[in-house]
Chain A
Amino acid sequence: MVGAVNGQGMGEDTPVSFDLKRQSVRELNQFLHGTLQGVKEVRVENPDGAHNLAVGLNGPIRVQIAGHAGYYAAGMNKDATIVVHGNAGPGVAENMMSGRVEVAGFASGGAGASARGGVLIIRGDAGLRCGISLKGADIVVGGSVGSFSAFMAQAGRMLICNDAGDGLGDSLYEAVIYVRGKIRSFGADAQIEPMTAADYEAVRELLDVGGLSHSYRDFKRVASAKTLYHWNADANQSY
């Protein structure tokens, strides 16, 4: 930690910095779980792809990760704003409850898995299973998403500014996906639906959240056909 010792004596605007070349992820997370004493921003230097950076945060702090992050960066975030100034490994912002997580580069598999609230912004592409099991969060992807994205997504919104891979939205529940580019194939029960005024409004809002300049008119709506909501003897191969 640079500029502070054990979380004491820090003024409102004193930036706190952790250098993971010299300090451990444990020390970082322990500090972030502490009382914080008015600290508003923490910088993480030399993350070098370390796993579990800034996980389980529980307050409106801002964390800047100055490089690549490994698995589960910003996992289970609540209220915090976490920016990864690089790429993020699997499960970035998994089970996020609220707050904002931004990845400047690419995100690996399972980005935003099971996230229940808040917003995840990925400037580059996201890998396989982006938004799997999504439960209410918004995910904005500046690039494309890999196959099996939004698998079993239950609630929330995904905005995909380029293309989607195979099996998009397999077994969707109430989550809605907006895609600007090509969709290689749909998963079971996912379908294109007409855009309504509310959908255009949602796309504008999500573009705005991500600071993106695409036209909201270029997006298609993908949602559940709801044929898997109830047991259906004739569809048993779908289960």
Chain B
Amino acid sequence: MSTTDSEPTAGMLPPDPYLEESALFNRQIIRYVQRAAATGLYEIRGLGAKRNLPHFDDLVFLGASLSRYPLEGYREKCSAETILGTRHARRPVRLAMPITIAGMSFGALSANVKEALGRAATELGTSTTTGDGGMTPEERESSKTLVYQCLPSRYGFDPDDVRKADAIEVVIGQGAKPGGGGMLLGQKVSPRVAAMRTLPAGVDQRSASRHPDWTGPDDLAIKIKELREITDWQIPIYVKVGATRVFHDVKLAVHAGADVIVVDGMQGGTAATQWAFIEHIGIPTLAAVRQAVDALEDMNKKEEVQLIVSGGIRTGADVAKALALGADAVSIGQGVLLALGCNGESFVQEGRHVSATADYHKLGTAPGYCHHCQTGRCPVGVTTQDPVLEQRLEPAVGAVRVRNYLKTLNMELTMIARACGKQDVHHLEREDLAALTIEAAAMAGIPLAGTSWIPGRS
């Protein structure tokens, strides 16, 4: 063989095909277009926004040094006690930690899961929240502190449950779909779910996006008064909004009489919603927190009305950053589902790990990528109403996992607070933060690290 045969000369094409992917029409978009062309219907999926967004990861803490004095990490006390609903309620919600479990419906989740969440929250001294499907006896019995949601659909809404609740959360919207109603596909509308919601079993349920008995903030003020009258002014009334025009919405919610405002950013999860909704409607949690805090400070209500932030809270660092930005507590949905085994390779049955990989493949996905809550075929038994699949989540196993997860977050939170020299996690402040990107600096209103620059503010 001569050298001229084996060595390519300049100008010749390489032997492999040259693949240049379009940034605009990438493989995801090609799949999107071709799926739309094949079905004529938008894609519906579960969980939250998957794309890369400015988030709490783009902030860092400025630990104590010479100019600040740290607390001993393992010895000195750092309180995480959290009190919500001090504005009007005779019995505010008292929690041992500022980390709560977000509203997720029985219907989206199985009764076993609701029970596991209640048990874990009770053990840790925090609260759980019902969802768009009424209150189940399982969750009421297992939850010491239960927040009862009043949603546009009013599925299963019952004054007896109102009287049993520890707080009421009037849901205006959620971060995954601000402006949209709930959705539960027929596979999950089991006879029990259907009966609780007064629907025929198996229908593709589209819940309302507006409340049936009030329209604007002035009406909401009267609605909140009605709930207070029914509960004899004993328990707090929360108002939950999906993050869009947060500054104005928070002000209107305060004006309407809310004790607690819940702001859910676009990374917040859902059991089923249109893809376009999840990825394209709403603003990131990072921006939402700051707007909410600005609104409360502008009204001089920061000490009177508490703020809960949700939407993509995953770690103790996320919790600490939300608190430093001005939240009083956070709420977690997807993180809790992951703790239960969502997107894990196996589930636990009678102490043994059983592989779920084959069932992920049946859904056309794999552990780590699954967002198929809408199918009700959850391979690990979390987001299902199927009598066989739901057995894959044993309440006792789930309760331990969720407890461990939330406990870890709280430990990280108090560790960070101590490192910043705080005896109370609620003493974390904006001054303790620096931003790593210009976007995060602008959204959170935190100086870019190493500078005193806050885009748009200084």
Contact = CB atoms under 8 A, between A and B. Distances in A.
Interface string B215-238: 000010011011001111100000
A30 B232 contact: yes
A95 interface: yes
Interface of A: 25-26, 29-30, 33, 51-52, 55-56, 58, 70-72, 75-76, 78, 90-91, 94-95, 97, 110, 113-114, 116, 129, 132-133, 135-136, 151-152, 154-155, 171, 173-174, 228-231, 233-234, 236, 239
B185 to A, nearest CB: 8
B198 A56 contact: no
B41 A29 contact: no
Contacts of B230: 29, 55-56, 75-76
Contact of B226 (A75, A132, A135): A75
A56 B212 contact: no
Contacts of A129: 212
Contact of B203 (A30, A56, A132, A173): A173
B203 A72 contact: no
Given A71-B222, A72-B226, A113-B154, 14 more contacts: A51-B222, A71-B219, A76-B159, A90-B219, A114-B212, A132-B213, A135-B198, A151-B212, A171-B206, A173-B203, A231-B41, A231-B204, A233-B40, A234-B40
Contacts of B153: 133
Q: Interface majority SS on A: helix, strand, loop or mixed?
A: loop
A56 B208 contact: no
A236 B41 contact: yes
Given A114-B213, A133-B212, A236-B41, A229 B200 contact: yes
Nearest to B150: A95
B300 interface: no
Nearest to A25: B229
Contacts of B330: none
Nearest to A78: B159
User: Which of B160, B230, B232, B233 has most chain A Cβ within 10 Å?
Assistant: B230
Contacts of A90: 213-214, 219
A11 B223 CA distance: 35
Given A133-B153, A152-B208, A91 B232 contact: no
Nearest to B157: A95
A230 B159 contact: no
Interface residues of B, number: 35
18 contacts: A25-B229, A26-B229, A55-B226, A70-B222, A72-B226, A76-B162, A78-B159, A78-B160, A90-B214, A90-B219, A94-B212, A116-B157, A116-B158, A133-B154, A155-B198, A173-B200, A230-B203, A231-B41
- Secondary structure call for the B interface: loop
5 tightest Cβ-Cβ pairs between the two chains A and B? A56-B230, A91-B213, A233-B40, A113-B212, A76-B159
B367 interface: no
B359 to A, nearest CB: 23
B203 to A, nearest CB: 5
B96 interface: no
Most B CB atoms within 10 A — which of A25, A30, A58, A114?
Answer: A114
Contacts of A152: 208
A230 B204 contact: yes
Nearest to A26: B229
Nearest to A77: B159
Q: Which of A70, A116, A133, A228 has the most CB of B within 10 A?
A: A133
A236 B158 CA distance: 33
A129 B40 CA distance: 32
Contacts of A114: 154, 157, 212-213
Interface string B134-166: 000000000000000000011001111011000
Contacts of B212: 94, 110, 113-114, 129, 132-133, 151
A25 B226 CA distance: 11
B212 to A, nearest CB: 4
A136 B154 CA distance: 13
A50 to B, nearest CB: 11
A129 B210 CA distance: 12
Given A110-B213, A133-B154, A155-B198, A58 B159 contact: yes
B219 A33 contact: no
A116 B198 contact: yes
B28 interface: no
From B41, B159, B200, B231, residue with most partner A Cβ within 10 Å: B159
Contacts of A70: 222
B214 A91 contact: yes
B199 interface: yes
Interface in B331-351: none
A56 B162 contact: yes
B70 interface: no
A228 B162 CA distance: 31
A3 B233 CA distance: 26
A97 B203 CA distance: 24
Nearest to A111: B213
